């Protein structure tokens, strides 16, 4: 089943065959702070292991996000990116709202995401700081960890 939504000349789809891998890889590996240098094979595997949500303006992909989920209890929304030429039009918020609405309709009640600097954007979609963050633990071996945490 493919999710499709349209608004103001944009379309969102979960059709993985439509993901422009080269474009998404460039955005993540060259333009994002959290995935700088991520190899194309890792981007490809990450898309294959999750549900991709792609935003198109005509035939050109202009946005991307993916959700990692068990489809029943939990989803992590990540790699949210909107091409700079399409920012400031509400595309990112709409993309996140569509992801949450789609997975909520499938019965998923809990969502998390992480951001260094876009808390206000995600608050408008209903997100809040993680309650009980002291209970969460991690192993983080990413080479971009310092940048993600704003330490570099």
Write the DSSP symbol of residue 71: S
CB 6 within 8 A of CB 94: no
Please name the fold of domain 4-148.
Answer: Aminopeptidase (3.40.630)
Tokens 């920012």 appear where?
87
CB 3 within 8 A of CB 53: yes
What is the reported pLDDT for 1? 54
Q: What is the spatial distance between Cα 126 and Cα 25, in angstroms, rounded to a whole number?
A: 28
What is the reported pLDDT for 104? 96
Mean pLDDT by 10 residues, the chain (152 residues): 80 96 98 95 98 97 98 97 95 96 96 93 94 88 80 74
What is the reported pLDDT for 149? 79
Q: What is the spatial distance between Cα 41 and Cα 1, in angstroms, rounded to a whole number?
A: 25
CB 100 within 8 A of CB 113: no
What is the reported pLDDT for 100? 97
Tell me how far CA of residue 114 lies from CA of 86, 89, 111, 117, in angstroms.
22, 22, 11, 9
Where are the chain's structural domains? 4-148
What is the reported pLDDT for 3? 76
């Amino acid at each position: 089943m493919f999710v499709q939504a349209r608004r103001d000349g944009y379309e969102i789809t979960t059709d993985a065959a439509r993901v422009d891998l080269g474009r998404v890889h460039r955005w993540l590996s060259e333009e994002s702070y959290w995935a700088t240098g991520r190899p194309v094979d890792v981007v490809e595997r990450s898309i294959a292991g999750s549900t991709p949500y792609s935003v198109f303006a005509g035939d050109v992909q202009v946005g991307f996000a993916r959700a990692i989920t068990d489809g029943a209890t939990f989803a992590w929304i990540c790699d949210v990116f909107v091409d700079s030429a399409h920012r400031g039009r509400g595309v990112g918020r709409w993309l996140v709202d569509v992801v949450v609405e789609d997975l909520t309709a499938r019965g998923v009640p809990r969502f998390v995401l992480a951001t260094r600097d876009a808390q206000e954007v995600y608050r408008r979609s209903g997100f809040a700081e993680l309650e009980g963050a002291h209970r969460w633990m991690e192993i983080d071996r990413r080479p971009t960890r310092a940048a993600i945490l704003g330490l570099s």
